[in-house]
Structure 1
Amino acid sequence: MRIGTAEREEATRVLGQHFADGRLSTEEYETRVTAAVQANTRADLRTLFEDLPTPHPAFLLPPQPPVWAPPAVSQPPAYRQGAVVGPPSERSKIVAGVLQIVLPFGVGRFYTGHTKMAVAQLLVTFFTFGVGAIWPFIDGILLLVNGGTDPQGRPLRG
């Protein structure tokens, strides 16, 4: 494959690193830089680095396999956030949502296993004399609409 000025400059820069590290003598460095400037293909440059350890110019390195990334939208939030992947939870989002709405002091969150959030909702509701019940009520609606997860990160079943 033919190369351009950018590849030649990168090759001479990397050869300069090897020269600075003491791997090349002055004469050998000058010979290799001259060959790099006159190179037309990657194969011409590859021969200049065959006997040298890394670093090598990036364009001479073998291509790295792509890193797998989970889909951004098509899966439930528990899967996108890197939670434990497995079968759906045995707990129901409908039961959790209805419990949150009917008994708005964290009962639905106790059901799903999110005890810390349930205790927080219970305390907020208690210490605000019932005004804080809006939080579990809205949380119940969100559980019904979006679902949720159990403590292991598995999505609640419908």
Structure 2
Amino acid sequence: MESDQLRIGTAEREEAARLLADHFGMGRITPDEYETRVTDAYAATTLGDLRPLFHDLPQPHPGFFGPPPAYAQTTMQLPAYGPPIDPYAPPPAPMPYAPVPYSYRSKTVAGVLQIVLPFGVGRFYTGQVGLGLLQLLVVMLTGVGVIWPIIDGITLLKDGGLDAQGRPLRP
């Protein structure tokens, strides 16, 4: 059986109508031609009925018409981006960490303020206002709560800490 006599289905008709709409959008056919061709595409029953709808139009044509002519096929090869990946190669070394910039606030000043003024003043200095207010409230409501800012001050002196932006305090 010759290919033009092969029966087509709804998918082929819709693909032809979509491609005709693309050609109409590009200005290759007039509105009247578009309407006539789409009506003919939906009425088609064989490939031979669809082929004349595209005879005077450039690519794209429906894919079921067969491969495009040899002059329309691309012969360019895609470039290779580097050597092939060896599946047995060891994993790459981890990237070294970028140095984190220090805060302009000092851990010594913050620790001494926490110990000398045990009301959360060192935390206010580092920019951690929420923690400073919590320490202030605990100290004001319970006299025993004074121990928390003092221990926090010793920890700041020993290990340092972070400012409100997450940067380590200067030594």
Bigger CA radius of gyration:
2
Normalised TM-score (structure 2): 0.44
Tell me the TM-score normalized by structure 1: 0.48
